[in-house]
Every structure is written in C-alpha cells, then in structure tokens.
C-alpha cells in the first residue's frame, strides 16, 4: 500500500490571525454602544442628571468599561468583556427618583457597586442572589421593561412621521441583519431628529466631553427603590448570564476578580454619574465564540480591542447627549424600547416557565409595571416583595 504523506497546512498570515479578533472586538463594542447609549442618557436624565452630568456619566461608563476590559483581559488572557447594565439603565428610566436629586441617585449607584464588590469578597452573598427565585427576578425585570417597550407604539401614534420610520427600519433590519436592527433604528432617529431640530442641537454639543464629579447623597428611600433593584438586576440579569455565556464556550470566569473589578470600577464611575457596569452577555458571545478566532487562546484579543474602542467611543458622549436632549422624549424611549424588546421576551419566558410560580411572577410583574411609589420607595422593590409574599403563601398552602 502506498502511503501518501499529507502536507502540513501552511500557517495563516500573521495579519489575518490578528485581524479576525480585532474586527470582532470592534463590532462588539460599536454594537453594544449604539444599541443602548440613548437608553443610558435617558435613564440618567430621568433620575435627575443635567445634560452635562448625563454626558459625564456616559463618558465615565465608557472609560470604566474600557479600562476594566483591557486590564482584566490582559492579565487573565481570556475574552472577559464588560458592558454597562442595559436593564439597569431601563430601571433608571422607569423608576426615576421623583423629587430626589441626582446626588441621591449617585448614592444608590455607589451602594450597588459596594454590594457587587462584597459579592466578590464574600461568596455567600453571591449565592444568595442566585437563590432569588428565577420567576420573580425575571418578572421584576419584565415589569421594568414593559412600559419602555410600549413607547414604540406610542411614538408611532403620537409622532407618526418620526416614530413609524424608526419601527419599520428596526423590523426590516431585524429580519435581514438582526445585529444591526437597533443601531439602524437609532441612525434613522438621529436623521429624523436632525431634520426636525435643525442644527441648533449641535451648538449645545460638547466635542470634548469632560467628567463632572457628583457628591453622593444617601437617601434610604432611593437606595431601596433604585440601589437594591439595580444590584439585583445587574447580578441576576447580567453577571450570572455573563458567566453562563462564557462557560458555553469553555471558559471559566474568575468570579472574584470579575465582580471585584467591575464593582470597584462601577464605584469609580458612579462618582462621575455612571450607574453600573457588569459582565457582558450578548456581546461576550461575539468575542468568546469561534467567530472571534478559531483558536480559543487568541480570542482575548477581541475583548482587549473592544476595551480600546470603548475608550474612543467615550469621546462622543457630548454629541450623543446633545442629540438625545434635542429629541422628543418619546422618540428616544421608543428606540430604547426596541433595544430591550428581546430582553422583555426573555424575561417573560423566564417568569412563566414554572407553572407553580406563575401567579407570584405575575403579581411581581404587575406591581413593578404599575410604577407605584409607596413611602418614597419605587415599584421594583415592592414588586419583588409582593411576589415573595405570594410565593411563600402559596407554598405554605400547598404543604398544609
């Protein structure tokens, strides 16, 4: 038998080896920024931030996301990626702080950051968060997102010339290029705003954004209605899924380093108006999958690149804030609603998948979606409390 020796496969050109993870990181960062920056700005303004403070908050988030991604990725050599909490921004937009100041919201951000650090230092606290019944946590998030997801419908009726093109663009792109559906809708919104607002909004834009320090105030009511729900949403809705996404691609996340790093970075960003950052989930899949590089040992380059891109994107915080400020609020909320529509679907699915927990989940959802404020505390806290009471009551009834 004649044995034919197989020629060794020629090595890939050096440029292609580096280009693939770099391009994945660039796409992931731009996608993450474009799909939710408007929601972040709108959320910060909803809790009392001025335009300058909202711009500072967006810049701070870009900086801490970028630096955290770069530092941890470099030392750990895994595609560990971070992002700001999009559900957390939705919570800000839905909750607000009533008559409270932005300083009290910053105090709530700091409490959230400290709790995340404590989860990294003290594992029982992290385990306690994972033991919150999934139906209740999912229902709370769904209740936060639901009013925002109504905005595209409201915008299409109230301002059809602005709202309908945004929704149609999103739908068409979602069908043919899902990743670019929300950025495309935001681009159409920007064009529509530019046509209706003229160039006046550019006069208010700061081409060189700056960080604005905010002295925090600690209001117990705001901490309960904003800080604690923000912590739960970030841990249960972002950090835990982020760990799961990484594990599906064969990576073990060093949770202590990830939580302490993101928590400390969140605390620093909070002092300049940013709400919170966390492990990325959706964009992490872009950078941890074979799409980033066939060799899993080289995929860290994608996350490292994404961190650098976030630092660059932060320079556009002033222009982005001016654009959002020039828009009718319903239009920006409509884009935000389209951005979190997938999260709403996932949350409702998680809330209702267990037949025995559906009633407590629905109770949680209804209370949170109602937007009530009792004793100065917002609906997210009360919804979780009501759901827990209903769940415990029904379980005791069954056991009797």
C-alpha–C-alpha distance, residues 68 and 279, integer Å: 10
Residues 283-328 pLDDT 10s:
787 788 887 788 888 889 999 999 999 999 888 888 788 777 777 8
Residues 163-193 pLDDT 10s:
899 999 999 999 988 878 888 888 888 888 7
C-alpha–C-alpha distance, residues 152 and 333, integer Å: 8
User: Would you say 264 and 65 are in contact if contact means Cβ atoms under 8 Å apart?
Assistant: no
For residue 169, is it left (φ>0), alpha (ψ between -120 and 50) or beta?
alpha
**Considering the chain, what percentage of its residues have pLDDT values greater than 70?**
89
User: Would you say 257 and 72 are in contact if contact means Cβ atoms under 8 Å apart?
Assistant: yes
C-alpha–C-alpha distance, residues 129 and 236, integer Å: 7
Residue keyed to tokens 């006069």: 203
Residues 36-79 pLDDT 10s:
888 899 899 999 899 889 999 999 999 999 999 999 999 999 99
- Where exactly are the structural domains of the chain? 18-399
What is the CA angle 239-368-230, rounded to 5? 30
Tell whether the model's pLDDT for residue 399 goes beyond 70: no
Token couple for 69: 């991604």
C-alpha–C-alpha distance, residues 140 and 163, integer Å: 28
What is the CA angle 84-285-57, rounded to 5? 10
Instruction: Calculate mean pLDDT across residues 9-23.
Output: 64
User: Would you say 59 and 211 are in contact if contact means Cβ atoms under 8 Å apart?
Assistant: yes
Grouping H, G, I as helix, E, B as strand and the rest as coil, residue 246 is helix
Lowest mean pLDDT among 128-137, 181-190, 265-274: 128-137
**Predicted structure pTM score:** 0.80
- Contacts for 255 with CB less than 8 Å, ≥ 6 apart: 120, 126, 243
- Contacts for 140 with CB less than 8 Å, ≥ 6 apart: 229, 232, 233, 364, 365, 368, 380, 383, 384, 387
Tell whether the model's pLDDT for residue 121 goes beyond 70: yes
**Considering the chain, what percentage of its residues have pLDDT values greater than 90?**
34
**What would the DSSP string read from start to end of 87-142?**
HHHHHHHHH--TT--HHHHHHHHHHHHHHHHHHHH-HHHHHHHHTS-HHHHHHHHH
Q: Which of 24, 66, 85, 33 is nearest to 295 (CA)?
A: 24
Residue keyed to tokens 């003229």: 198
Token couple for 77: 């050599």
Which phi and psi (to 5°) does residue 82 adopt?
A: -125, 160
C-alpha–C-alpha distance, residues 304 and 322, integer Å: 29
């Amino acid at each position: 038998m004649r044995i034919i020796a197989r020629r060794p496969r020629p090595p890939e050109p050096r440029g292609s080896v580096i280009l693939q993870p770099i391009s994945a990181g660039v796409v992931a960062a731009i996608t993450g920024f474009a799909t939710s920056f408007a929601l972040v700005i709108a959320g910060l303004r909803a809790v009392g931030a001025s335009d300058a403070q909202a711009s500072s908050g967006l810049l701070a988030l870009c900086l801490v996301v970028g630096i955290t991604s770069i530092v941890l990725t470099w030392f750990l050599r895994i595609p560990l990626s971070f992002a700001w909490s999009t559900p957390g921004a939705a919570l800000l937009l839905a909750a607000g702080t009533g008559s409270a100041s932005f300083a009290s919201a910053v105090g709530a951000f700091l409490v959230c950051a400290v709790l995340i650090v404590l989860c990294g230092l003290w594992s029982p606290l992290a385990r306690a968060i994972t033991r919150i019944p999934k139906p209740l946590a999912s229902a709370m998030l769904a209740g936060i997102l639901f009013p925002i997801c109504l905005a595209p419908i409201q915008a299409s009726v109230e301002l059809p010339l602005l709202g309908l093109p945004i929704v149609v663009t999103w739908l068409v792109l979602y069908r043919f290029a899902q990743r670019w559906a929300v950025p495309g809708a935001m681009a159409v919104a920007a064009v529509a705003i530019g046509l209706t607002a003229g160039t006046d909004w550019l006069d208010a834009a700061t081409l060189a954004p700056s960080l604005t320090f905010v002295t925090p105030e600690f209001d117990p009511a705001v901490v309960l209605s904003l800080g604690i729900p923000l912590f739960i949403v970030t841990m249960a809705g972002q950090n835990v899924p982020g760990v799961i996404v990484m594990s599906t691609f064969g990576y073990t996340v060093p949770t202590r380093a990830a939580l302490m790093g993101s928590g400390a970075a969140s605390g620093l960003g909070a002092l300049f108006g940013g709400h919170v950052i966390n492990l990325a989930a959706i964009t992490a899949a872009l950078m941890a999958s074979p799409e980033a590089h066939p060799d899993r040992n080289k995929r860290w380059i994608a996350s490292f690149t994404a961190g650098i891109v976030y630092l660059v994107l932060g320079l556009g915080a002033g222009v982005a804030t001016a654009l959002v400020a020039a828009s009718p609020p319903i239009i920006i909320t409509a884009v935000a609603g389209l951005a979190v529509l997938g999260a709403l679907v996932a949350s409702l699915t998680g809330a209702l998948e267990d037949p025995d927990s559906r009633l407590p989940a629905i109770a949680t959802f209804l209370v949170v979606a109602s937007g009530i404020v009792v004793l100065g505390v917002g609906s997210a806290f009360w919804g979780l409390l009501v759901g827990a009471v209903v769940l415990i009551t029904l379980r005791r009834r069954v056991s009797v």
